[in-house]
Amino acid sequence: MRLGYWLKKILMVEILRGLFLTFSHLFKKSVTVQYPREKKPVPAGYRGIMSLLRYADGQERCVGCGLCEIACPSNVIKVVSAEEEDRPLKRYAKEYTFDVTRCVFCGFCVEACPVDALAMTPVYEYAVYNKRDLFFDKEKLLEMGDRYFPAQGAKPDYIGSCESELFLLAAKAKGYPTKSEAAGPPQSEDPDAKREGPAQ
C-alpha cells in the first residue's frame, strides 16, 4: 500500500494521466458555438430570470402572502400586500419587486409559493448597460410570465371563493356585511305595498 503510493508519486502517474487527457483532445473535433448569433437550447427546468404568472382568465395568481420574500436567502423580493377594494379580505400584491442582480437562482421562492404564482424562465442573458434595468417591478414580471408561460391553467374553485366558514368568520370579525346584508332588503313586487306600510 505504502510502496504503491510512493511509486505513484515518483513516476508522476497523476500528472501523466492529466497530460494524456489534455493531449487526447487534440485529435477530437472541436465544438464552437457562435454566440450570440448561435444559441444552444437550455435544458428543461433551467433556472433563469423569474416571472409572475396568471390564471387562464387573466387574473394574477399572486395573493401577496409574502412567503417568497421570507424564503429568499438573498433578500431579492419585496412584496407590499393590500386588500382588494371590492372583495373584502381578498389580498393581492400591490407592489412586487425583484432585484435580479442579487438572485442566486436557487428556486426557494418558487417552492414556497402556495399558489404557483412564480416560475423561472429560460432567460440567461442579464447583460445590460444600466444596472437598474435588472430591477423588475410587478408589471415587468407579469410580462415575462405572459411571454414565456402563455398557456396557464384554470383557476381552482377554492381561489376567490367567499363561501368557506373561516372566510365568513373573519369577515364577520372585521365587520363586513354578509351577502344578504350587502344585497339590501328584498324588493317587493307590488309598488303599492310599500306605500301602504305594514298592516296594523
71 vs 168, beta carbon nearer ligand SF4:
71
Shortest reach from residue 102's CB to ligand SF4, in Å:
7
Which stretch, 36-44, 57-65, 127-135, 191-199, contacts ligand SF4 (CB under 6 A)?
Answer: 57-65
3-state secondary structure of 189: coil
Residue 11 or 80 having the CB closest to ligand SF4? 80
**Exposure of 129 by Cβ count < 10 A (0-12 exposed, 13-18 middle, 19+ buried)?**
exposed
Tell the smallest beta-carbon distance from residue 126 to ligand SF4 (Å): 12
The CA distances from residue 168 to 145, 160, 162, in Å, are 33, 13, 7
With vertex at residue 58, the alpha carbon angle to CA 71 and CA 165, rounded to the nearest 5 degrees, is: 65
Q: Which is nearer to ligand SF4, 18 or 46 (CB)?
A: 46
How many other β-carbons are positioned within 10 Å of the β-carbon of residue 143?
Answer: 14
Question: Residues 104 to 133: which contact ligand SF4 by CB under 6 A?
Answer: 104-109, 112-113, 115, 117-118
- Going 140 to 142 to 148 to 150, the CA torsion angle's sign is negative
Residues that bind ligand SF4 (CB under 6 A): 62-68, 71-74, 76-77, 79, 93, 103-109, 112-113, 115, 117-118
